[in-house]
Amino acid sequence: MSISECNTSFIEYNSKKINNKQLLYLYKRLVKPRLIEEKMLILLRQGKISKWFSGIGQEAISVGVCAALDKGEYILPMHRNLGVFTTRDIPLYRLFSQWQGKRSGFTKGRDRSFHFGTQEFNIIGMISHLGPQLGVANGIALGELLRKTNKVTAVFSGDGGTSEGDFHEALNVAAVWSLPVLFCVENNGYGLSTPSSEQFVCEHIADKGIGYGMDSYIIDGNNILEVYSKVSELVKSIRKNPRPVLLEFKTFRMRGHEEASGTKYVPHRLMERWAMKDPVENYQAFLRETGVLTEEVEVEYKKEIVHEINLHLKKAFDEEKTISTVADELADVYKKSTPNVVEPTGATQKIRLIDAVRNSLYEGLKNYENLVIMGQDIAEYGGVFKATEGLLEEFGKERVINTPICESTIIESSFGLSINNIKSIVELQFSDFVTSGFNPVVNLLAKSFYRWAQHSDVVLRMPCGAGIEAGPFHSQSNEAWFTKTPGLKVVFPAFPQDAKGLMATAIADPNPVLFFEHKALYRSFYQEVTVDYFTIPFGQAALLKEGDRLTIVTYGMGVHWALKELKSMTASVDLIDLRTLQPLDTETIYASVRKTGRVLILQEDSIFGGLASDISALISENCFEYLDAPIKRVGGLETPIPFAKALEEDYLANKRLRAAIEFLLSY
Ligand SMILES: Cc1ncc(C[n+]2csc(CCOP(=O)(O)OP(=O)(O)O)c2C)c(N)n1
């Protein structure tokens, strides 16, 4: 049924199972967002608030769904769900301040409109990208399931958002894991200007539930009683029998996508027909006809709400504009934590890098009851590199979790778990595949703490690197994609002892950490590694060799290439293993360059836009007077990484390393 075929002439209410008090409660809740919006539209025209996404015509969905949940249950609204925020009783001045970028809002002026969350009200707001909301809900719901709280999580999407891959991944994972999630799709006929007919071809969005093996229902989204009754019934049932349910709410957007964009593309006739089905006017008329609502009470309610709006608006307008300092802005990019530094002491054992990673994961699971590990093939199979071998047997299926091939929604879920106070480690099977979950890494994990103080207690394990003849999609060193993004920490150990200690720090850290593990180093050598738990602080490079003629700065495989070259040379060289790339130990680099006057920066990744380029820039800005030779960068060729042995050898930086060292020493 297309929207134009909908019967839009009236709404049939069935109030049999709802008492009068509840009917009036729902009325008051329904009127409130409408009255706020009417005020907002005036203020928008006066240029007093920024962008506005109207939910006029769709209020019954936000209000009905929210009213059916307990306040302790998480709800994840989208850009048109003002009714969620008002039904959860957020003080209006805080919403108004948020929209004006003021301090009493939820983002210290750092994000606009509905782009915020608040743990105080169990509301988790969206990032602009729409679809990721659904995966975040999965993570929250997984947390509820693991803790056996019997709570439901409700998440919204528009019809347009259902075209995104995130929607499919989220529904698939929710179904496979039987997560207690209500997927609430508001089908308002358009995604911006694109009608549903150009967005998907199935008749109803609810039909998609069949493909994921989940129950789905079509609900008249303009009928508050139908929304409230059906959702209440489902919520009760899901609390007892956890499972995802897909709900399609048929509705219509009565104003432009955002106020500035208008509704020219919508046929006038359609507008008129849906206007007849206005959720507020119809419900009001029903309550009046049935005698539940008198004119007196209606007027009183509206007066009360308008008074509240005006009072809170004044408070928001009176609040001073947000200003900040550079120091305050920088201080809010990462959640502060005082690391518990544990020095390595006691017995050691000879193990490989892969064993060190596994040991550290084991200790993490033992030390943190709220830690789970997720990834493809990591449970019974032990992961493709066997880093998680044995963990399932020791810690069980609830903590060592196999995932479908859904990088995006799994990384979104890791954020949801963090919201619900559960730490997670996600194994990317190969670091190359993080591209399929790139958005949640750089936009959710990296930015949420700065935006609304929600940290992402997540470690992403990134098996990376070339030298194993694996071709362009299983060989990349893609750390520079992430060192570029404020909010992420990036670690790249070269030795088993460092891998163990740095992983312990990564697990303890409440911020998102990308932990790079070079595949060719997993099993290539042994090192004496401290048996007991210990940590290695981030931001501390290791000076592996000391000399006064040249500084070599490198990390990961580069460390081993440099060690090999230096073995057959008599040169007096400082060799710095960075170990962590973000935070970067610039002091160790500068101190060495000031001593030697010559510097070579070595990385496995191709040069342009990589770490070596930025380190080079930092050195020239901070140590220029000390340099006796040009800064030299050595890295991979500016090509994808080829498969065949000879081609790969030509690609890799170690082929050009000796010549570069000799060039600098004789400069
Ligand atoms: C990934 C992504 N692509 C494009 C956009 C731009 N955009 C914002 S809202 C929107 C339309 C969304 O339509 P729908 O999901 O149906 O929700 P509605 O706005 O109708 O409530 C678009 C295209 C975006 N925010 N994110």
Rounded to two decimals, the pTM is 0.97
pLDDT score recorded for residue 4: 35
> Which residue has the CA at smallest separation from atom 21 of ligand 1?
158
Q: H/E element holding 182?
A: strand 181-187
- Catalogue the long-range contacts made by 236-242 (C-beta closer than 8 Å, 24 or more residues apart): 238/152, 238/180, 238/182, 239/150, 239/151, 239/152, 239/180, 240/150, 242/144, 242/145, 242/150, 242/178, 242/179, 242/180
Helices (H), 242-400: 268-275, 279-289, 295-318, 326-331, 353-367, 391-395
How high does pLDDT run on average in the chain? 96
pLDDT in tens, 209-249: 999 999 999 999 999 999 999 999 999 999 999 999 999 99
What lies within 8 Å, CB to CB, of 161 at 6+ separation is 78, 130, 131, 133, 167, 185, 191
- Strand 400-402 and strand 215-220: the pairing is unpaired
CA 152, CA 145: separation in Å to the nearest integer?
Answer: 9
| Predicted local confidence at residue 10, as pLDDT | 79
Ligand 1 and 160: CB distance under 6 A: yes
Closest atom of ligand 1 to CA, residue 186: 21
Which residue CA neighbors atom 4 of ligand 1 most closely? 129
Token representation of residue 590: 């500068």
* Residue 49 binned pLDDT confidence (cut-offs 50, 70, 90): confident
Backbone φ and ψ for 653, nearest 5 degrees, come out as: -70, -25
Cα distance between residue 227 and residue 185, in whole Å: 12
Angstrom distance (rounded) from CA 486 to CA 92: 32
Among the atoms of ligand 1, which is closest to the Cα of residue 159?
A: 16
- Secondary structure letter of residue 587 according to DSSP: H
440 CB under 6 A from ligand 1? no
Integer angstrom CA distances of residue 450 from 106, 394, 486, 487, 652: 11, 37, 9, 8, 37
Please tell me the distance between residue 191's alpha carbon and the centre of ligand 1 in angstroms.
6
Task: Check if 474 is active-site.
Answer: yes
DSSP label of 641: P
Cβ(191) – ligand 1 distance below 6 Å: yes
Between CA 261 and CA 310 the distance in angstroms is: 27
Q: What's the average model confidence in pLDDT over 661-666?
A: 98
pLDDT tens readout for residues 446-489 = 999 999 999 999 999 999 999 999 999 999 999 999 999 999 99
Cα 353 to its chain centre, rounded Å, is 29
Kindly report, residue by residue over 158-188, the tens digit of the pLDDT: 999 999 999 999 999 999 999 999 999 999 9
CA distances 585 to 23, 180, 537, 591, Å, are 62, 44, 11, 11
Q: Which residues contact 203 (CB under 8 A, 6 or more apart)?
A: 1
Distance from chain centroid for Cα 498? 28
- Residue 386 is predicted with a pLDDT of 98
Ligand 1 site, residue 188, Cβ cutoff 6 A: yes
pLDDT at 262: 87
- In the block, residue with structure tokens 């850009």: 79
- The response to whether residue 249 sits with its C-beta less than 6 Å from ligand 1 reads no
Beta carbon of 489 within 6 Å of any ligand 1 atom: no
Closest CA to 629 of 660, 584, 654, 650: 660
Name the CA dihedral angle for 349, 507, 538, 572, rounded to a multiple of 10 degrees.
Answer: 30
- pLDDT for res 95: 96
Task: Give the mean pLDDT of 424-445.
Answer: 98
- At 243-281, the pLDDT tens digits run 999 999 999 999 999 888 889 999 999 999 999 999 999
pLDDT in tens, 377-388: 999 999 999 999
Among the listed residues 168, 474, 518, 560, the single catalytic one is 474
Does pLDDT of 8 surpass 70?
Answer: no
List the residue whose alpha carbon is closest to atom 1 of ligand 1: 129
Q: Which residues contact 582 (CB under 8 A, 6 or more apart)?
A: 482, 483, 488, 489, 490
Do residues 426 and 458 lie in contact, with contact meaning Cβ atoms separated by under 8 Å? yes
Is pLDDT above 50 for 5? no
Alpha-carbon torsion angle 444, 450, 456, 461, nearest 10: 70
Percent of the chain having pLDDT more than 70?
Answer: 99
Please identify, by atom number, the ligand 1 atom nearest to the C-alpha of residue 131: 1
Residues in Cβ contact with 101 at an 8 Å cutoff, skipping those fewer than 6 apart = 50, 109, 112, 321, 322
Q: Which pLDDT band holds residue 544 (cuts at 50, 70, 90)?
A: very high
Q: How confident is the model at residue 44 (pLDDT cuts 50, 70, 90)?
A: confident
pLDDT at 39 over 70: yes
pLDDT at 135 over 50: yes
In the reported structure, the alpha carbon of residue 161 is separated from the centroid of ligand 1 by a whole-number distance in angstroms of: 6
Q: Is the CB of 253 under 6 A from ligand 1?
A: yes
Per-residue pLDDT reduced to its tens digit, 571-585:
999 999 999 999 999
**Closest atom of ligand 1 to CA, residue 162:** 15
302: confidence class by pLDDT, cuts 50, 70, 90: very high
Q: How far is CA 607 from CA 86, 247, 656, 664, in A?
A: 52, 49, 13, 18
* pLDDT value, residue 25: 98
